[in-house]
Structure 1
Amino acid sequence: MTTVTRTRGSYLDGLDAETFNLDRHLAKLDPRLLAEPEGRRTLTRLDPLLFAFLYLRHHLQDSEGRTTFSDAHLDWCRAARAWIRPVVSPGEQRDAYIAPRNTGKSTWWFLILPLWGAAHGHVRFAAAFAASASQAETHLGSLKREIDSNELLRSDFPDLCSPAKRPSGANVADTQSMFIARSGFVFAARGIDSSNLGMKVGQQRPDLILCDDIEPDESSYSADLARKRLTTLLDAILPLNVYARVVISGTVTMPGSVIHQLVKHGRGIETADWIREEGFRAHYSAPIAQRDDGTERSMWPAKWPLGYLKSIEHTRSYAKNMANDPMGADGDLWTPDDFRYPGEEGPDPVTHMMLSIDPAVTAKKGSDFTGLAVVSWSARHKRCTVHGAVALKIQPGPLLRDRVLAMLDEFPQIGLILIEINQGGDTWESILHHMPVKVKTVNQTENKFTRAEGVLNHYQRGRVIHARRLVEVEQQMCAFPKAPHDDLVDAVGSAVRRFIPAASKAVTKASTSSYL
């Protein structure tokens, strides 16, 4: 998880759900301060977790009345404490928080933490966006219910809990989409695709921008809509105030989605251009965490015991809803059960090995990736093994040539480079000239789906295994053809079809030629 800036001296520093004890912390506080409004305000000004417990405990309790926390909750409280200090440079505080479904992301980021910030003046104008206007307005409705009915909150923060008034006595703004408090705090709610995303109250612009589940379920989502949603975020939401603190929270709904890109950044797998350019930090909370000694524990042991998580770890629901791994997404062909790995006897002996390349003609932001896959054939077991697969957004030229040579060094058993040249054949001849192994080209004439169906047949008949879990290619396969990219599917498929040609002859007319 990316480290966030923290205010010095927090009692939460270094603690997780396993080591944090709320009762122990409360025991250190002077009960006389807790009994008085001024004391409670003083104690909670720098402590969002204590604020949550004192004023919003009913949102934290389970069905048995217990108040427990997960690793993510403690991380979020630590992160929110950065709101105490003003933002001094554009894009300084832009963060994304991805955690298992039902961790309470909306409760914390759209109710507890904004209320804490507003109560103590750390936040003056919160703008909340969701996939739909009704969803965003629900967040505002939850906040207003606390303001209207929470007696302790109303007693300690009366200006926050009373609407601003005009000279006529009417409320300045107390609607489904906006609330302005007597203290000056503003909370506005919008659907991310609203025709009017501009927000300004007098000279005041949002200093906290919240984006919660801005992507819909996969059934009503697509790669094209994901690109449009990202454009809205970058071109309409962030410019509301470049000095605003920005928080994106959510759960993956589709491979290649905005949240999925942030997950890959948070896990150190890949950083999309927009994430780097806009300065976002991504914080990924895994349902199963590792202790320093390598043993495992639950991120929220009171809610999800480790035994329970391990019992469902193999399911698609766990992958998608808990681990934020879109392997749980529903594609049209592969499922996670189609992937096999070497057994106790170890890896298959290699008879032949090739590097298969599915190239992109350019490396522009909107172009595909270049997929490279290392696949071998074992004559003894009569099956293929996929050893590795990587997708690169890299300009065709010397850098790609260097990467190919590096893969030949990493896998010295490679004896052939196979590259699809439906486009840019001359370009690839100029890049892959004088390779230390033979280079062959293939020109595909059948459509992608037909080719993929044939490759899936080999997987399901046990003719293809993976040397280990290959997350990127397996995600693409499970989401195919709905994923925004399928470069690795094509790269692996080309190699498998060449090694196992008999079953493929009826579905392909691929022509090959060689050059040096």
Structure 2
Amino acid sequence: MATKAEILKAQEKWKQHCETVQAATAVNISETAAQRLARIRRLRSDYAAFVDYYFPHWTVNPETGKATPCAQFHIDAANKILKNRNLKAGFMWHRGAAKSTNMDVFVPMWLMIQEHREINVMVLVGKSEDNAKTLLGDIQAELQYNQRYIADFGEQYNAGSWEEGEFVTRSEVAFFARGRGQSPRGLRYRSHRPDYVVIDDLDDDELVESPARVSKLFDWVRSALFGTLDGGRGRFFMVGNLIAKNSVLAKWCEIKTVHVTRVNIYDRAGRISWAAKWAHDEVKQLEAVAGYRAFQKEYMNNPIIEGAVFKNEWIRWGKRPAWSKFSEIVLYIDPSFRGSTKNDYKAAKLWGKVGTTLYHLRAFVRQCSVAEMVRWCYDLYEWARAQGIAVRWYMEANFMQDTILDEFRREGELRGYQLPITGDKRKKPDKFQRVEAISPLWERGFVIYDESQRDDPDMLAGIDQTLAFEKGMRGHDDAPDADEGAIWILQRDTRVQSFTPSFGMRKNAKSQLW
């Protein structure tokens, strides 16, 4: 609960914001009635233009006087919301992506001006009740003082206040604020139940450290809060950046029927997702100051738990040499057990050696069945053949039993050949000792990750496990275990001969494989 001094400070800040809103939204008095109606029609269908016109105090940089237009992901999200009255979504956007501004202010106000009524009751949920009220204050300030909005659609504010956690407009659209875990039962305005619920940055660093608290809060979201909708009808979103794998946002986005939009500050091609706001050099400086772990967590939706053996700064990305430069390339497979659940990770790691430098080239690190991993291995084999790359295949001998090899044989029979897998028959020391023993290779800069795989989810999952690796860890360690196997093969002097695969047509295939 906020103190009296904090309340007074928040009230003063809100008044100053209202003055800014009013001053920035002067109306063009020379505009004709026909021009005004044509403009309104256009803004109802063009979200970016709607934001530019009504919210210059949000979009214009006061230092440069230049506006920062919406990014494409803002526009896509708004259009998705407009077209689907019953959308259930998770907007996993990086820090600084204007999540709150769009979802708490711009989008609901855009829905309010549509020809057909699109919103009746909005509920805004924050980390705490005070936080939710402050967020609600932003939209009340716009509805009460935005002169352009008022000139086009009439006086908006009617009664209530963000300080009380609720207010209503003259058109009888009601707004409520609630904190996480606070009872939302009975929320309605007259005959209308909530039909626009936005959960804003519910997770924080303290919460995600407790799996029990995360689980309890997630249950509250999908039961008490979701239950405020009229039989599930209505728009229901969660917005935030992924600060932990064990978080309410992560659990919400795992629901199959939830539409998930994930936006990192870099897209898959390495471009800035909101290029109108940030220059590439600016983001690079941000990354350098924040550090790898914090940057991945806050701006790439990739929270990493750093362990006691490997450090973030040891992860080095570099350009891969030409394939012909590699003296050896090894694929090491850690398939887990066939009878294990899909929650167990399967790992297959492709490593190569040039001189004394080890390159991590490709990765498969997934919670899946053995069959899925086997298909990936065969696909990689065919890709390597097409590239003219010779790969030596290894798997721990303990796994080379009929129950595991059945999957490889089955896929091989379909494709017309068997993978040339050799068993790693060494008597392995303790896993922690083996993996810890190769960590100096990372520290001394002998390990390079292929930079073309920087955004690959399997490669990133493997890095997660590597950084989290420590003695007695309860998490997954399949990836660093496979790394150790590949590196052991590459570092030793003797070579084991493997059998030559046969090639041919895959049954029912329409074309020759090679």
1:76 pairs with 2:53? no
Q: Which amino acid aligns with 1:349?
A: F
Counterparts in 2 of 1:44 and 1:328: CA distance versus 1, 3 Å: same
| Bigger mean CA offset, 183-192 vs 102-111 | 183-192
Q: Note the 1:167-182 alignment, pairs <5 A.
A: 176-182=164-170
Range that drifts further, 141-150 or 109-118: 141-150
Q: Distance in 1 between matches of 2:216 and 2:148?
A: 43
| Residue identity opposite 1:252 in structure 2 | L
347 and 202 in structure 1: CA distance in 2 versus 1, 3 angstrom threshold: farther
Deviation by residue 1:407-426 (Cα, 9 ceiling, x = unmatched): 4444564444224869x987
- 2:463 corresponds to 1:473: no
Corresponding residue of 1:269:
none
Residue 274 of structure 2 corresponds to residue 299 of structure 1 = yes
Tell me by how many angstroms 1:342 deviates.
5.3
**Contact 1:57-1:67 within 8 A present in 2 as well:** no
1:454 aligned residue:
437
Distance 1:192 1:390 in 2: 37
The amino acid across from 1:213 in the alignment is D
Aligned to 2:422: 438
Q: Secondary structure at the match of 1:128?
A: strand
Specify the alignment match of 2:346 in structure 1.
370
1:418 counterpart = 2:408: no
Instruction: Using the TM superposition, give the Cα deviation of residue 390 of structure 1 relative to its aligned residue in structure 2, in angstroms.
Output: 1.0
Q: 1:478 to 1:404 in 2, by over 3 A?
A: closer
How far is 1:483 from its partner?
11
Q: What amino acid does structure 1 have at the position aligned with 2:275?
A: W
- Deviations along 1:368-396, one digit per CA (max 9) or x if unpaired, are 32122123456xx2454322111233334
Whole-angstrom distance in 1 between the partners of 2:223 and 2:468? 29
Change (3 A) 1:336 1:158: same
Aligned equivalents of 1:501, 1:259: Cα separation in 2 = 45
Q: TM-score, with normalisation over the residues of structure 1?
A: 0.67
Given the alignment, which residue of 237, 245, 251 partners 2:235?
245
- Which has the larger helix fraction? 2
SS in 1 for 2:243: coil
| Pair 1:183 & 2:182 matched | no
One-letter amino acid of the counterpart of residue 355, structure 1: Y
2:57 maps to which residue?
58
Q: 1:160 to 1:29 in 2, by over 3 A?
A: closer
Identity over aligned pairs, percent = 17
Query: Tell me, what secondary structure is at the counterpart of 2:176?
Result: strand
Q: Deviations over 1:127-160 (max 9, x none)?
A: 2233444332321122233344445555655563
8 A Cα contact 2:358 2:446, kept in partner: yes
Which amino acid is the alignment partner of residue 371 of structure 1?
Answer: A
Contact 2:94/2:264 (<8 A) preserved:
yes
Establish whether residue 493 from structure 1 lines up as the match of residue 476 from structure 2: no
Cα deviation code 1:301-344 (max 9, x no counterpart) = 4x423443455566538943775153777555331543253576
**Alignment match, 1:341:** 318
- The alignment yields a C-alpha RMSD, in angstroms, of 4.7
1:112 aligned residue (87, 94, 106) = 106
Deviations 1:55-81 (A, max 9, x none): 433222323272512452x54245424
Cα separation, partners in 2 of 1:488 and 1:49, compared to 1, 3 Å: same
Change (3 A) 1:438 1:329: closer
Show the counterpart of 1:395: 369
State the aligned residue count: 441
Q: Distance in 1 between matches of 2:99 and 2:46?
A: 18
Q: Distance in 2 between matches of 1:197 and 1:411?
A: 58
Residues 341 and 465 in structure 1, CA contact (< 8 A), matched pair in contact too: yes
Q: 1:420 touches 1:443 (CA, 8 Å); kept in 2?
A: no
Q: For residues 104 and 352 of structure 1, what CA distance do their matches in structure 2 show?
A: 45
Amino acid at match of 1:243: R
Instruction: State how far apart, in whole Å, the 2-side matches of 1:351 and 1:387 are.
Output: 12
2:31 corresponds in structure 1 to 31
Q: Which amino acid aligns with 1:280?
A: H
Query: Closer, same or farther in 2 for the Cα pair 1:283/1:431, shift >3 Å?
Result: closer
Equivalent residues in 2 for 1:269-308, closer than 5 Å: 274-275=254-255, 277-282=256-261, 284=263, 286-287=265-266, 299-301=274-276, 303-308=277-282
Q: Distance in 1 between matches of 2:91 and 2:43?
A: 23
Counterpart in the other structure of 1:464: 447
With over 3 angstroms needed to count, the CA separation of the structure-2 counterparts of 1:329 and 1:400, relative to structure 1, is: closer
Paired residue secondary structure (1:113) = helix
Asked if the contact 1:255/1:484 (under 8 Å) is kept, the reply is no
Describe the SS at the equivalent of 2:32: helix
After superposition, the Cα gap between the structure-2 partners of 1:441 and 1:96, relative to the gap in structure 1 and judged at 3 Å, is farther
Specify every segment of 5 or more residues in structure 1 that has no aligned partner in the other structure, as ranges. 1-27, 164-170, 263-271, 503-516
Cα distance, 1:404–1:237 mapped onto 2, change above 3 Å: farther
**AA partner of residue 114 (structure 1):** P
Contact preservation (8 Å) 2:364, 2:373: no
Structure 2, unmatched stretches of 5+, are 1-27, 410-417, 494-514
Question: By how many angstroms is 1:110 displaced?
Answer: 0.7
Q: Deviations over 1:218-240 (max 9, x none)?
A: 89546776666655555555554
Cα distance in 2 between the residues matched to 1:102 and 1:353: 41
CA distance in 1, matches of 2:306, 2:339: 30
Q: Taking structure 1 as reference, are residues 66 and 122 closer, same or farther at Cα in structure 2, changes over 3 Å only?
A: farther
> 1:204 corresponds to which residue?
192
Q: Aligned equivalents of 2:419 and 2:321: distance in 1? A: 36
AA in 2 matched with 1:428: I
Distance 1:149 1:483, change over 3 A: farther
Q: Deviations over 1:2-47 (max 9, x none)?
A: xxxxxxxxxxxxxxxxxxxxxxxxxx998224997x8876664445
Structure 2 CA distance for partners of 1:326 and 1:353, relative to 1, 3 Å: same
More displaced stretch, 217-226 vs 399-408: 217-226
| TM-score (structure 2 length as normaliser) | 0.67
Structure 1 residue 161: Cα displacement: 0.8
